[in-house]
Amino acid sequence: MKKVVLGFLVVLILIQFIRPEKNESSDMTNHISQVIDMPSEVNKIIKTSCADCHSNFTKYPWYSEIAPISWYLAQHVNEGKEHLNFSEWTSYNQDQLNHILKDLNEELEDHKMPLKSYLIMHKEAAMDIEQYETVLNWVKSIPSNQ
């Protein structure tokens, strides 16, 4: 039993050296705010409830330094950015933008975002009905032919 516990601890220590790349950038070149007016209230909601997974500006909690949690978080952020990345908005083609806007409408109308699993540790990211409506109305105001 001691060997199993010791082996587990050695593996746990060794995996701490395998670090995923952090999602931290200051580049605003392709950010949505470069081409679409983003009211301050919408910007605040997106920063609080969306940006960690849907931009290049993730704010990492302390536990993100611990493997294998760090691996899970990196995978989760990368997956979120595959669906929508506010930091890469101007790099999307028209078909991608139309698809993203359609998905955004659906996600907001159904209150599917932020994910419940994210809200467990990030209660401040929870959105109330007014916040959903604010962001949804803003999304609906975005021209589909940018």
From the list 87, 84, 90, the residue with the least C-alpha distance to 112 is: 84
Residues 6+ apart with CB under 8 A from 32: 38, 86, 87, 89, 90
**Residue 24 corresponds to which tokens in the numbers above?**
């931290």
Kindly give the confidence (pLDDT) of every residue in the chain, 146 residues in length, as a single tens digit, with 9 standing for 90 and above: 899 999 999 998 888 998 899 988 888 999 999 999 999 999 999 999 999 999 999 999 999 999 999 999 999 999 999 999 999 999 999 999 999 999 999 999 999 999 998 999 899 999 999 999 999 999 999 887 65
pTM for this one?
0.87
